[in-house]
Structure 1
Amino acid sequence: MLTSVNAELLRALADPLRLRIVCLLARESLCTTHLVEETGARQTNLSNHLRVLREAGVVETEPCGRFTYYRLCAEALAELATFFGALADGGHEAAAARRPCG
């Protein structure tokens, strides 16, 4: 069973706006202009959130002319899915186990 997960990744996804960005990028690659339109966030605020997501390995960038497109790094989320899947499996097994007191 896995015993650790990247805490920085969890912190990055814990913010509601960053989670919204990730959900949007799960559907398609978007530039900052699109993300501003979709989220209603200010561009500077959005840029800060995108930086956090980049540093956590959740999103990747792709220059396209004078724009930068962002895309989801699916591998990072797949690692989380594996971790939480293992936790869930362990939880099912642990439901029957009980350490004696005393």
Structure 2
Amino acid sequence: MKKSVALAGGILASFVIAGASLADGGFQEHMSACVDKFASASDTASVVLECSAAGGKLSDCKVVENSAAGKGFDKAALCVASFLPIGAKTGTIRVPLKFQGA
């Protein structure tokens, strides 16, 4: 079953999302794999992470908001963060993610 996972509009405005990972479907595949591993693809959730950004990657992420506590979306969001391209953004940033149920 194909999952639809959408990034909240704020993340698109905050980051320069670049690279072939979005164009070749690799990013979507990774997001789907994270949801399959940790949460239910039929549920919807919003999660906000706070992370350190440097060198085009996120690190030291922690969940600061989770609309579906106990359903695994916190872990799915942390999994997604390890693959999210952020461009040249640096410092402490908030990353809003929205998971749309199928």
TM-score category, normalised to shorter length: under 0.3
* Structure with the higher fraction of residues in helix conformation: 1
Q: Which has the higher contact order (CA 8 A, sep 6+)?
A: 2
Identify, as 1 or 2, the structure richer in strand.
2
